[in-house]
Amino acid sequence: MRKHIVAGNWKMNNTFEEADELISNIVDALEEKELDRNTQVIICPPFPYLEMATDYSKDSYFLVGAQDVSTEDKGAYTGEVSAAMLKSIELEYCIVGHSERRQYHNESNAMVAKKVDQLLKNEIRPIVCCGERLEEREADKQFEVVKQQIEEGLFHLTAEQFKELVIAYEPVWAIGTGKTATPEQAQEIHAFIRNLIAEKYGKEVAEEISILYGGSCKPSNAKEIFSKTDVDGGLIGGACLKAEDFIAIAFSF
Ligand code: 13P
């Protein structure tokens, strides 16, 4: 059975104190009710809080990820954070290619490919985002766009490397807008992605990869979206900033 994953992308939110409170509330909520063994909770706070999060995670049932990583090993890259640094504080996951980075920082598929390589080299599992913008969906180009993102960003990997990935389909028009893809729309693209992987790496690899949905996923819609065959969980933005909502989503399988 494929791993169910609920990952919280905090984006640029919370002060140190607020972060401390949110994580400790997540710890409490996970203590209260036992989560299914096949469900993995991941939190991805901003860089300054990662070490605090990994400290908390040692006594709780969640793992920690970063929101981005440098394409480079080390050196004169002011403001950047390397995969080796993330590994040195024992991070397990890192988001790559989020649409906000593609949009505001011109992150290309080629850069996504380099970041994924950096992470795999340091034994950190990439959560790779893909998804079309509104005008692309309106022009019925969602399949074409997602295919190109996956081929250019990921298809240089070997099958062994590919198995380390988590994929997140996040239609840009659904992010932070309150508009969600219908469960059918999500299923359609998730199945398309899995099929692309199967064609390149074989069915066995494709069946192992968790594909998450992201875009206004909340406690009220998670169950229906997660009920679809090829949806293995969610990458949660807004709703992950309240422990109660985030954990309710983790219990939606
Ligand atoms: P929202 O859940 O706020 O729409 O954000 C989704 C997202 O971008 C997660 O990475």
Could you state, in order of their start, the residue ranges of all structural domains in the chain?
4-250
Distance (Å) of CA 239 to CA 102, 176, 218, 234, 242: 22, 10, 6, 11, 6
pLDDT band at 214 (very low <50, low <70, confident <90, very high): very high
Q: What angle in degrees, to the nearest 10, is found between the helix axes of 109-121 and 142-154?
A: 40
214 touches ligand 1 (CB under 6 Å): yes
3-state secondary structure of 63: strand
Q: Any catalytic annotation for residue 190?
A: no
Mean pLDDT in residue range 59-68: 97
The single residue listed with the structure tokens 């906000």 is 100
Residue 137 pLDDT > 90: yes
Quote the ligand 1 centre to 217 CA distance (angstroms).
7
Mean pLDDT in residue range 38-64: 97
Q: Which of 132, 136, 170, 190 is catalytic?
A: 170
216 touches ligand 1 (CB under 6 Å): yes
- Torsion sign across C-alpha atoms 76, 79, 85, 86: negative
Q: Any catalytic annotation for residue 136?
A: no
Q: Which atom of ligand 1 is nearest to the CA of 239?
A: 2
- For 209, half-sphere exposure in the C-beta direction (CA atoms, 13 angstrom radius) is 31
pTM higher than 0.95, yes or no? yes
pLDDT band at 179 (very low <50, low <70, confident <90, very high): confident
DSSP state of 174: G
Q: Are 210 and 226 in contact (CB under 8 A)?
A: no
pLDDT band at 210 (very low <50, low <70, confident <90, very high): very high
215 touches ligand 1 (CB under 6 Å): yes
Interval 69-119: pLDDT, tens: 999 999 999 999 999 999 999 999 999 999 999 999 999 999 999 999 999
Q: Are 31 and 63 in contact (CB under 8 A)?
A: no
Burial (0-12, 13-18, 19+ Cβ within 10 Å), 191: middle
Residue 65 pLDDT > 90: yes
Instruction: Report the share of the chain in percent with pLDDT over 70.
Output: 100
Q: How far apart are CA 75 and CA 197, in angstroms?
A: 35
CA 211-142-197 angle, to 5 degrees, is 40
3-state secondary structure of 213: strand
What class does CATH assign to 4-250?
A: alpha beta
Q: What is the mean pLDDT of the chain?
A: 97
pLDDT, residue 178, reads 84
Q: Are 222 and 249 in contact (CB under 8 A)?
A: yes
